[in-house]
Structures are given as structure tokens and as C-alpha cells.
Amino acid sequence: MRRARTTFLAFAAIVAAAYLSLQPALSSEDDPVADEVKAKGDHERGGKLYNRYCRGCHGEEGKGDGLTFQPHVNNLTRKGYIENLPDSYLFLAITKGGAGIGKSNAMPSWEGTLSNQQMFDIIAYIRSLPLN
């Protein structure tokens, strides 16, 4: 069972990486989720939600230095990384969790816990963090 799971996760990671590499870089104008985030996302509400649901792993300032046991958590403020990820990717990561984007399943799926609006707010907050 463990081997099948490992094989599946490796396959999912390869498929996700291939999908993302074949996608043209999306600008905010091309990303329908970005339009919703801009229109509806509120970074202040998102900050409160981030502190409740994301800070434990991603850290208070989004640098990936949370206080949990997670082996590797992405720095959401790393210049040259986060600004190249379309909002639709962040939305998928929040909705489906790490496994949904071919990463660690240690990141839970927030679908069913957070509304789309709350996810737009979190993305707006992440976009407001200073890059380093």
C-alpha cells in the first residue's frame, strides 16, 4: 500500500510539473481567478484568515518558518517565485492542498472549510506581503 501511494504521489508530482511547464506564464489579465481576487479579495480579512489557517506552517510573515513539524514549507515572500505563480495556482493549492498541486500532502485541503471568498482574501493577503 505504501509503495502504491508513493508511486501515485510521484506520478501526481510529475503530471503537475509537466502541466505547469506547458502552461504559458499567466499574467493577471489572463488568469480568471486573479480577476476575482482583485475584485473581491480583501487583504485585511485575508490576514486574519492567514493567521488562523496558514501561519502555523508558512510563518507569521509568510517566510516558511512556521512552528510546525512540516519538513519543507514554501516561502510565500521569495522574490522570483511567488510573483510568478498565478492566482489560480494559489487558489488550487489552498482548495486541494499540497497533493492537488503535486506537492506534500502535509498541506491540507481547505475546500469545505474555507469559502471561495475567504480563499480570495488569503490570496490578496499573500500578494500584499513584501517580497524578499
Per-residue pLDDT of the chain (132 residues; tens, 9 = 90+): 556 555 544 544 454 454 455 444 444 457 878 887 888 899 999 999 999 999 988 999 999 888 776 667 888 999 999 999 999 999 999 999 999 998 888 899 999 999 999 999 999 999 999 998
Residues 6+ apart with CB under 8 A from 128: 43, 46, 47
**pLDDT score, position 33:** 82
**How far apart, in whole angstroms, are the C-alpha atoms of residue 91 and residue 69?**
24
- Grid cell for residue 6: 508513493
Helix axes 116-128, 87-96, angle to 10 degrees: 130
**How far apart, in whole angstroms, are the C-alpha atoms of residue 112 and residue 39?**
22
**pLDDT score, position 22:** 44
What class, spelled out in words, does domain 2-128 have in CATH? Answer: mainly alpha
**Do the Cβ atoms of 45 and 123 come closer than 8 Å?**
no
